[in-house]
Amino acid sequence: MKSQPRITLTDEDFQEIFALFSSPADEERTQVYDQTSDFYFGKHNLADEYSLNEEKKEFAVDAWRATIYYLYRHGYEIRKDGEKYDLGKSSGYSLNGNDQGADVTNGTL
């Protein structure tokens, strides 16, 4: 069996994931990639401390959205039982004006 490659993340990747995680709204997600915005992922110092003040389910939803959107944006695919999943829609973000994405708050992907 051929060995499968591992995903290796850089500090820039971790900055982007953190920025997505801490900017869960659609408008904030757009600003994560705007270099002039305070939400721009490259401005995050990974050595700074961060504390959470939210419900566990909200934390889980935000973490899911950030991770899945990151994978979607970087061209990864997820398959289970031979079926390919739409990561863009599964992220829960609105990807265009007509698509509201998945309702991840109730577990619908």
In a domain, residue 1? The reply is no
Give the C-alpha separation, 31 to 25, whole Å: 10
In a domain, 3, yes or no: no
15: in domain: yes
Range of the domain at 80: 11-106
> Is residue 4 domain-resident?
no
- How many domains would you assign to the chain? 1
The proportion of the chain whose per-residue pLDDT surpasses 90, expressed as a percent, equals 39
Q: pLDDT tens for residues 67-107?
A: 999 999 999 999 989 899 999 888 888 776 545 554 555 44
Residue 2 lies in a domain: no
Question: Cα 22 vs. chain centroid, distance in angstroms?
Answer: 10
Q: Are 104 and 64 in contact (CB under 8 A)?
A: yes
Backbone angles phi, psi at 80, to 5 degrees: -145, 130
Averaged pLDDT of the chain: 83
Name the H helices within 1-109: 11-21, 26-31, 56-73, 87-90
| 89 Rama class: left (phi>0) / alpha (psi -120 to 50) / beta | alpha
pTM of model > 0.85: no
